[in-house]
Structure 1
Amino acid sequence: MVMALVLMAPVVATYAGDKPLTTVYAGEENGGCIFSVGNSTYSGTLHPGEHYPVSFEVDLPNDATVRYQRYYLYWAWSRKDQQAVHPAITATRCPGSDRSAAPFVRYVDNKGFSSASDFYSGMDAFTCGNLSPGKNTVTFEIENTGEGNSTFVVQGAGVLAVYESPSSPPGFIEVREGCDMLYSSYGITPEMATSRMDFRENIDISRLSKATLELVAPSGGYTRSDIIQKNTLSVNSKKSDTLPQFITTVLNLVFPEARGKEWVDVFDSDQQQQIGIETRDVTPYLVGKSNFAAVQDRGDYLLLTNAILKVDYN
């Protein structure tokens, strides 16, 4: 089964997890996926007429056929003078295409309360020509096509290719996209600043070989404050507020896999490489159905934009 779906995120906007990522692709096939941010770095302020190029080197199997592909642009601080505006962005170099391209879909979020810096942040997804089997070296470039003093910054760019490949193991891949701004501050608790993902596919545990969850979060993992346990990733984590803490600790020790898993201080980014990426082997923690994952902010500040669950069968 293959599903492609494009939706704009809901109009609600806060630092809470109120814009869950949307499933845009779900496919069962022999194949795999590759995500890369290429040589992208933080742009600084882009004024109208200025460009931002990124080069990617992507290797696909020689028998690969691309089934889903997107180029992503991660942007922030979009404004005109001190007024929040949506940016005007055009891909002037769209690999595999001889035309300029507007975003195929845009996901946007903002803090949601009045202040001098409540500007928009988001992710634009572009459709260009598909990558080819073997080695690909391509350049993706955008231009600020806004008017007047419309500016924004680019935190980075990425490319995702989901491919079918007869020589690859069987399994399925689920791709989610969006923009959920998370920050446990200004009255938003960590529980509120949590973005949950419920995965729709059932899993044949008897055939499960490996499962990997890859997440993309601009600004994730980078903070000027030395915050301990500034964020978490949990997979099928079962917590009970009704049990004493020592009993919960014992249960987690005795049944670690059955009760899911939580990791702290996930993602990896810095002032220049601002796209936080987290890749986790989640094989021991998956169950036959109703699998879920959640990203929680505890003072980090991040945009959760992409999630890719890849399951391989024997």
Structure 2
Amino acid sequence: MNIYTRMLICLTVMAILIVPSFAQPTPFAIKGWVFYEGGNPCDDPMVNITNLDTSAKWQAETNASSSHYQIILISGTDLNATEILRFDVTGGTNTSVTNHTISVSEVNDGGIFNFNITLGPTSSDADLNVTGVTVNCGYLFGNESNEISATIKNNGSGNAGAFNVSFSVGGISEQVTVSSLAAGNSTTVSVTDPTIRNAGDSVPITVTADCNGEIVESNETNNVSSITKTVVNNGYKGKRYTGGTNMTTWKSYDLNGNLVYSAGDSYYLSSYSYPDWTTYNVSWTASDLPVSGTVIEARLYTMYTWDKKDVMSNNANLKFNDALQTVDKHYKDEKMYATSYPYGMLVYNVTDDFNATGNYANLTNSYPGGGNVSMRGMLLVAIYEDAGKQRRVIYINEEFDLLYGGSGKCTTPDEATDYAPIGGSIDAPNASCARLITIAPGADGSGSTGEGELIFNGHVWNDEWRDNEVHQIGISDRDVTLYLQSTDNLVGFQSNADWMEASNAFLVVTFGILGDVNQDSEITPADAVMVLEMAVRGEYSEAADVSEDGCVTSLDALMILQAVANNVTL
């Protein structure tokens, strides 16, 4: 065998070994049925397929007696995974244009099977526009998530099939799918932006209709709309949502004595009805504030609303029993967006000028021309010490929080809740009584119908606050003994579509048993003897006054003996 023959044999063997190493073409089937919009089959449709990545085009096989179409292409040659096929389908006067991205699984399976097409929902005559972008109640609110909505309209003459709408909110993106949109129709889609932002932040918002190009439109240049919104706080929510604080405990007292309060002859003074008012006067009689012993704290709370010219901060002067007073605290709140005016409360320490026989307050509005603020009323609170009274621990919580819990203000009742945690611990097991007094200016319920929900340690009283239909100071005075805790006592003021504010919480906890004059923690005949002796001497003790008629008599001693005999609690 010569050298040339040997070379020929080697080349032949190499050819045989090499050829099988090349990949073989793989068939890729595309098939399905074509229907009219109502579901009837479209026989003999025209199905044209374009690979948008390579511009290659094919026409599928169809026949006059069937709505079926099919075509066999070559995977790896005609198409590959991730490439987009466009299906242009015509049946009579009806058309459809549908884009489909080839997946890896379809390549592995060898085709796109049962890819059915409905004529009508999509047309190159569709024209998608973003006609409006809105945010909840028109504002982006701070310290919470926000709902953003967009209205998409099909301005074209052809219907649009499924497409996506993208929202870009301050760089955070999300997409929403629209199943179809007929010519001339609009739809609204929404997303919730979970980003917690601060008031003053500037946030660009861009909405794009058909963001992934699923729809072939007559105009592809008008699919985007952008706005920029500045974040604001929503003052109708509790102050924890607006950078403020809870209604904290201002001060507490542990003494033998009590707390009394009264709105006196307060009345609502409207700057709308009296636009030029310059004076506001309130008086209290001795019976309004029955004080015995020594007053150790007297506070005057002056509530106002709609302060359009900042009158209360700069142009209000108050005299109490003719003595000019200095503002001790000024609490206020407002809705903080659009037209916004302060609501609030001026607090005066009038301890030195308090008079147990009667009191008088005169507020002067020195703003030029007067008016420009409305007065809800005044509340006078006195804490006094009296050795003849039972021991009490008194907590005073103060703040001012504008509240409205309802969809009209983009709030919920849970959000429109102001909390007043009671500071410190309480000897709850030994407390004989716990009384909670809460003040909600603007909660002007009357009769059997109040406004707002009072919450104490999880227990809820509905429609709680009422005024006297003269002033606008909602007052609640509740026995909460059953719900008192040793620590973490929590008061809540909640609005459920109620216009109201939260300003004060007073918790008064009483220790000692009525009738237990010798303070041995039980009622015995010895207490009756002591009461009778006090009656003879003309002395008074709150524990001895079991009849609660304001004096100690033999009747009180008799009631103690009856209680001992019958084993009952006074």
Counterparts of residues 214-229 of structure 1 (less than 5 Å): 214-222=437-445
Q: Following superposition of structure 1 onto structure 2, how do residues 232-311 of structure 1 map, counting pairs within 5 Å?
A: 232-237=453-458, 261-269=459-467, 272-311=470-509
Matches within 5 A, 1:16-165: 16-18=237-239, 19-45=245-271, 50-58=278-286, 59-62=289-292, 64-80=293-309, 86=313, 88-91=315-318, 93-95=319-321, 98-115=322-339, 118-128=340-350, 129-132=352-355, 135-147=356-368, 151-165=372-386
C-alpha distance in structure 2 between counterparts of 1:268 and 1:33, whole Å? 20
Which SS does the other structure have where 1:151 is aligned?
A: coil
Pair 1:147–1:50, CA change in 2 (3 A): same
Structure 1 residue matching 2:373: 3-state secondary structure: strand
- Further displaced range: 228-237 or 158-167: 228-237
Which stretch shows the higher mean deviation, 193-202 or 52-61? 52-61
- Relative distance call for 1:271 and 1:207 in structure 2 (3 A) is closer
C-alpha distance in structure 2 between counterparts of 1:273 and 1:85, whole Å: 18
Amino acid at match of 1:124: L
Structure 1 spans left out of the alignment, 5+ residues: 1-11, 238-260
Residue aligned with 1:206, SS: helix
2:424 is paired with a residue whose SS is coil
Q: In structure 1, what residue type is equivalent to 2:237?
A: A
Residue 87 of structure 1: CA displacement?
5.4
Q: After TM superposition, give the deviation of residue 47 of structure 1 in Å.
A: 5.3
> CA–CA distance in 2 between the matches of 1:201 and 1:99?
35
Q: Does 1:189 pair with 2:412?
A: yes
**Separation of aligned partners in 2, 1:148 and 1:53:** 18
Give the superposition deviation at 1:27: 1.1
Question: Displacement, 1:171?
Answer: 2.3
Cα gap change, 1:149 to 1:68, in 2 (>3 Å): closer
Question: Which structure has the highest helix share of the two?
Answer: 2
Moved more, 171-180 or 16-25: 16-25
Give distance in 1, aligned partners of 2:346 and 2:495.
23
Q: Aligned partner of 1:111: which letter?
A: K
Alpha carbons of structure 1 residues 188 and 86: separation in structure 2 relative to 1, 3 Å: farther
Q: State which of 195, 200, 213 in structure 1 corresponds to 2:436.
A: 213
**Aligned partners of 1:230, 1:61: CA distance in 2, in Å?**
30
TM-score, length of structure 1 as denominator length: 0.78
Q: Distance in 1 between matches of 2:298 and 2:457?
A: 28
What's the counterpart of residue 398 of structure 2? 177
Q: Distance in 2 between matches of 1:130 and 1:102?
A: 12
Q: How far apart are residue 209 of structure 1 and its match? A: 0.5
- Equivalence for 2:49: none
* SS state at 1:284 partner: helix
Matched residue type, 2:235: T
Task: Return the TM-score normalized by structure 2.
Answer: 0.44
For residue 389 of structure 2, give the secondary structure of its aligned residue in structure 1. Answer: coil
1:151-173 deviation per Cα after TM superposition (whole angstroms, max 9, x unaligned): 11101111011111111111200
Question: Aligned partners of 2:401, 2:463: CA distance in 1, in Å?
Answer: 18
CA deviations 1:52-78 (Å, max 9, x no partner) are: 00011244443x212221111111111
Distance 1:75 1:294, change over 3 A: same
C-alpha distance in 1, partners of 2:279/2:301? 15
Could you say what the CA RMSD is over the residues aligned between the two structures, in angstroms?
A: 2.4
Q: Which has the higher contact order (CA 8 A, sep 6+)?
A: 1
Instruction: Please say if residues 48 and 147 of structure 1, whose CA atoms lie closer than 8 Å, have aligned partners that are also in contact.
Output: no
State the one-letter code of the partner of 1:114: A
**Does residue 202 in structure 1 map to residue 430 in structure 2?**
no
Rounded to whole Å, the distance in 1 between the matches of 2:335 and 2:252 is 31
- Secondary structure of the residue that 2:445 maps to in structure 1? coil
Q: 1:48 offset after TM fit, Å?
A: 6.3
Residue type of the alignment partner of 1:25: K
- Report the Cα offset of residue 127 of structure 1: 2.4
Q: Percent identity?
A: 26
Aligned-partner residue type, residue 174 of structure 1: Y
Following the alignment from structure 1 to structure 2, what is the Cα–Cα distance between the partners of residues 90 and 205? 42
CA–CA distance in 2 between the matches of 1:44 and 1:136?
A: 30
Q: Which has the larger radius of gyration?
A: 2
Q: Provide closer, same or farther for how the CA distance between residues 306 and 230 of structure 1 changes in structure 2, counting only shifts above 3 A.
A: closer
How many angstroms apart in 2 are the aligned matches of 1:217 and 1:229?
11
